[in-house]
Structure 1
Amino acid sequence: MMQKPLSKEEQEWVEETLEAMSLRELIGQTMQDHAGRLPFKGDDEAALRRYLEQYPVGSFFIGGEVIQKAAGKAEDYRDWAGLLQGISRFPLLFSGDLEFGAGSAVRSLTAFPPLLALAAADDEALAYEYGKYTALEGRAAGFTWALAPGTDLLLNWMNPVITTRCLGDDAGRAARLSAAVMRGMQEHGLAACAKHFPGDGVDYRDQHIITTVNSLSEEEWFSTYGQVAGEMISQGIMSYMTGHIALPWIEDGAGGAGSGPVPATVSERITTGLLRERLGFDGVVLSDALDMGGFLSWGDYTQRIIDCFNCGTDVLLWPGVRYFAVMEQAVEDGRVSRERLKASVRRILELKARLGVHAACAGGEDTRAQPLLDDKLPPDLDRQVRQFSRELAGRCITLVRNRTGQLPLNPQEVRRVLVIMMNKVTEGRRYERMNLFVEQLKARGLEVDILDEFEPLTTLRKWEQSGVRWDAAFAPYFLPLHGMMNTARPVGEAAKAIWAMQHAETVRPIGISFATPYLLQDIPFLDTLVNAYSLHEDTVELTVKALFGEIPFQGSSPVKAEI
């Protein structure tokens, strides 16, 4: 399929706009700014006007980051995008981390179970709807560009970055489902962005902290990540994000300072040679965030920025406004060619034309967006989105191990339960959202005892010795991705919980992971494990129903959970 050609009118708009731009405006098109980091209050129209005159950027990132939390209201984002669109001389794109639905970036919209949950359901029709409803809600809130879907593969169980943000460990499944998500987005007015090329999930380290390495051989890479990329490109993906990830089989040169791996974000061999030329990608290449540790170690600011652009990147994500001066100087002294700059801007303008943002009305209003009512889509559509989210929640819950037939529990026989909380890392780092699970148990009228302190380690044994018995015991686990824990595994107090529960002699805990699918690596003695993939509200409710046999477990593990 590749990307559909532009109409004659769209093509003319691209060329006329390109020719009308000054050097500074051309440079601005290749920078994506962060709306949350502007040096003034975001609704100050006069300040916005002055800012865009001085720094005529081509796109803004809005909404919460995946590494933080969903933020704000849909109407606020939409109004803000409209305000900027009206001020800017050239049409803007607005991107966001819409990885798990628009609600993963905007609190008032619908958050979906994560991609790994979609992989557990393994249904292309659901994947298409995942993209479609993300697009309908996202575009209504002012977004035109999703920095999603994740097309990485979970090939190393210790990877701390993509645990639930990917479609599992099988390239065929990931290719099928991510292509369906992408079609759902792009057929409903939202550009998709496959990430993170050349592929995260092989290393056990985090490129927010250092440059990581995809250590597969050329043959292994093409049969895994290359297969997924080939499918996304053939189906017409509009953009690709490169990661701060090295690929030694193609680029074994030393790092910028003479040592270390070469990230894709500065590698011409990876970005141009592999992605563009060998795989045939002709859309927009966006770098991952340039404030990440995996990029910062590559030379000084000027060096790494110029290398990032020259390797084949079209849009640099959050380079900061000094980008303008560096690029102006680089064009002037010949380190960056004007032709290469214009080639990138042409691709960016073509993306804008495909999304129809060049045709926004004079007031900046997006005529292709759904209306918002009370900060949501119109009632019928809103109901469809929320029903979809709940359906996926019910379809993903996976019974990974049930060695002694503990599940389903008999509601008539279970009156008193123990919950061993694995949601605390250190003092002050306790993830209270796990209380959703406890509340569901209490709502059934159960007596719930909670163990959430593990000093002394023998507390559970002492409770047993005092004669306390439970009809069932649960060991729920949660750790958010990107809590800068540099791991997805139980650490700190959660690790101590694993030690503590082994002191008991009458307790056989039912493990429930609301995060990593690999809990059996750290708690191999569990006879029973349920993977639920997230603390998504519907998922938690339906997980409890499945534990008590009221609905079946429908998911199948998207990774080899027992390695």
Structure 2
Amino acid sequence: MVDLRAKPFFLDDAAVAWVEETLESLTLEEKIGQLFINLNVSFDEGYLDNIVGNYAVGGIRYMGADSKTVQDHIRYAQSKAKVPLLVASNPEMGGAGSADDGTLVATHLAAGSHPDKSIARLMGQVAGRETAAMGCNWAFAPIVDIHYNWRNTVISTRSFGNTPDVVIERAKEYFDGISESNTVCAMKHFPGDGIDERDQHVVTSYNTLGYHDWNASYGRVYRELIDHGVQSIMIGHIGAPDLSKHFRPEMTDADILPATLAPELLNDLLRTELGFNGLILTDASMMIGMTQAKKRSELVPAAIAAGCDMFLFFRNADEDFRYMLDGYRSGVITEERLRDAVLRILALKASLGLHATPRNELVPGPEALAVIGSAEHHAIAATIADKTVTLVKDTQGNLPLTPETHKRIRLYGISGQADFTGTDPSGYLEVARDELEKAGFDVHVFKNAKQRAAEGEENVYFHTVMADEANEQYAEKYDAAIVFANVTGFAQEASIRITWSTPMAAEIPWYVTEVPTVFVSLAQPNHLIDVPMVKTMIHAHAPSREAIAAAVEKIQGLSKFTGTFNENVWCDTFGTRL
């Protein structure tokens, strides 16, 4: 049973009374509605009238937009809610990801790639200030997965590192930073990603550690963060066969379910053994890692019955609401389980003071938006980039490259596909060109066959581009080559690698034998698996102007590399260290 006065809620008598009175005032349908967090796919007020009014959802998360649009949307939603809403955002990198004009401070990996642990706190502080300014009160962060498997790309930039120690230290710092803005956190993704190489957005993945190894790693992380006061935990669509069988020895392999549907992981492990008293929510319910496990009509109530308190996102509001209500009426969700879940939802709201805040003050005024993307926050991002841009290797001694020694630069851009947000992944190339030209380099941007054909050039094919590019005049035309790679694809592929424009493409670093070549990654840390021939590798962590500017400065030798890296960069493969 939930203890409203204990960690992480710490409710006083007045707050406890509000929780209990509010619970008793809700109809059955309103209690069912509280279990849902809706993904608001429209900013139309009529849409909100339906979601917040008719379904009485407990929380919302919105799609991306500019901060003013988001703030207006949240303000209207709160004005229509019978019970104040939990308003979630994904501030994993600062304000970016929560608003189109938010500040990209750093990735989790960047925040774990320097001895200064306060980087993570600064990232949390900016995240809290910018999301609170819009009216958000719930962060789906920090990420406390451990990046053990270099092939895992869903958390390769979203994990603080590959050891429990760095994850624990930096997650606490992030939590403390964002907590300054009266924001509660949902750390993720229990029971822990980073063992399997696959992505739960497209397939169920598995944490295959045995009970004792899990306790020494992920278990340590969760125990320490629970003790530190984290208020909620997001459950991944991640199965844990050995853990499940530890608590249910009779289970067969066919019985193993993702943690979102596994009572032995939620109740026996998380609630009982780890002592977590806070709120448990599912990861997004449209992810194939969940939907491949059961029929939709079964998995919706099964998640709550298994021990989750909130269900993340309707697939179809009418259907999912009906499935949940039918699950209660059929006894899949017991009265005790429903009451316990709603108590925790209301307690989380009360812990934020939502019950005692006038409805018209739940969202700040428009003037609060001045903090979003502010000069102060971009200065923080620049300071962090200066610390965390990392030299992985320079075995050929190519650095520094300066306009005086290597004036003519051949610039290559390696882009991945746009991720599910639709963000153009190629905008970094103009920023890179701009920063190199500001430094005094003469920059020549390479275009592949598809790009040249798109610009109207006729009779251009990959082999004609190679013939133009790869000849004995290359070293006469260019003094050095610099490659910037922004390869994403998060939530769309089971793993992410470089995809060249064609076989034997002219942008593949054949030219390392002709001129000094520098490869700069703006995302994935595992590119040496695809470009082991590169002798100079830099990890700049993010496609932000601050990160690119810091990389260009360090390429010239104008500031030192102080960032660090872990062994994942070598991809456990011969030749990557050469």
Q: Does TM, scored on the shorter chain, surpass 0.5?
A: yes
Distance 2:322 2:348 in 1: 26
Could you list the per-position Cα deviations for residues 471-521 of structure 1 after superposition, in whole angstroms to 9, with x for gaps in the alignment?
221122111242624322212428855884226641342111111112222
User: Is the Cα–Cα contact under 8 Å of residues 425 and 494 in structure 1 kept in the other structure?
Assistant: no
User: Is the Cα–Cα contact under 8 Å of residues 460 and 503 in structure 1 kept in the other structure?
Assistant: no
Q: Give the partner amino acid of 2:340.
A: A
Counterpart in 2 of 1:68?
Answer: none
Distance 2:163 2:273 in 1: 23
Counterpart in 2 of 1:91?
Answer: 84
Shift of the 528–261 alpha-carbon distance from structure 1 to 2, 3 Å rule, reads: farther
Distance 1:331 1:555 in 2: 53
Distance 2:467 2:436 in 1: 22
Counterpart in 2 of 1:69?
Answer: none
Secondary structure of 2:537's aligned partner: strand
Could you list the per-position Cα deviations for residues 444-479 of structure 1 after superposition, in whole angstroms to 9, with x for gaps in the alignment?
332222334272274476343466242221122111
Once the two structures are superposed, the pairs formed by residues 76-475 of structure 1 within 5 Å of their partners are 76-251=69-244, 259=254, 261-319=256-314, 320-321=316-317, 322-363=319-360, 365-366=361-362, 369=364, 372-373=366-367, 375-377=369-371, 382-423=374-415, 431-453=426-448, 455-456=462-463, 458-459=466-467, 462-465=470-473, 468-475=476-483
User: Is the Cα–Cα contact under 8 Å of residues 138 and 183 in structure 2 kept in the other structure?
Assistant: yes
Q: Give the partner amino acid of 1:178.
A: A
Identity within the alignment, %? 27
Distance 1:246 1:543 in 2: 39
Q: Give the partner amino acid of 1:522.
A: D
Distance 1:497 1:188 in 2: 49
Distance 2:163 2:432 in 1: 30
User: Is the Cα–Cα contact under 8 Å of residues 475 and 514 in structure 2 kept in the other structure?
Assistant: no
Shift of the 293–407 alpha-carbon distance from structure 1 to 2, 3 Å rule, reads: same
- Compute the displacement of 1:210 (Å): 0.9
User: Is the Cα–Cα contact under 8 Å of residues 460 and 500 in structure 1 kept in the other structure?
Assistant: no
- Cα RMSD of the aligned pairs, angstroms, is 2.7
Shift of the 432–48 alpha-carbon distance from structure 1 to 2, 3 Å rule, reads: closer
Distance 1:407 1:554 in 2: 15
User: Is the Cα–Cα contact under 8 Å of residues 175 and 228 in structure 1 kept in the other structure?
Assistant: yes
Secondary structure of 1:206's aligned partner: coil
Q: Give the partner amino acid of 2:479.
A: D
- Compute the displacement of 1:166 (Å): 1.2
Q: Give the partner amino acid of 1:477.
A: A
User: Is the Cα–Cα contact under 8 Å of residues 108 and 375 in structure 1 kept in the other structure?
Assistant: no
- Compute the displacement of 1:187 (Å): 3.3
Could you list the per-position Cα deviations for residues 323-375 of structure 1 after superposition, in whole angstroms to 9, with x for gaps in the alignment?
32222222222221111111011111111011111123143x227x5x54384
User: Is the Cα–Cα contact under 8 Å of residues 201 and 491 in structure 2 kept in the other structure?
Assistant: no
Provide TM-score, normalisation by structure 2.
0.88
Shift of the 246–290 alpha-carbon distance from structure 1 to 2, 3 Å rule, reads: same
User: Is the Cα–Cα contact under 8 Å of residues 488 and 524 in structure 2 kept in the other structure?
Assistant: no
Distance 1:173 1:101 in 2: 19
Distance 1:167 1:286 in 2: 22
Q: Point out where structure 2 has 5 or more consecutive residues left out of the alignment.
A: 1-5, 450-461, 573-578
Could you list the per-position Cα deviations for residues 31-52 of structure 1 after superposition, in whole angstroms to 9, with x for gaps in the alignment?
001111x5xx5234xx633543
Distance 1:325 1:151 in 2: 34
Q: Point out where structure 1 has 5 or more consecutive residues left out of the alignment.
A: 65-71
- Compute the displacement of 1:261 (Å): 4.6
Could you list the per-position Cα deviations for residues 236-270 of structure 1 after superposition, in whole angstroms to 9, with x for gaps in the alignment?
0011000111111122599x999485101101111
Q: Give the partner amino acid of 2:126.
A: Y
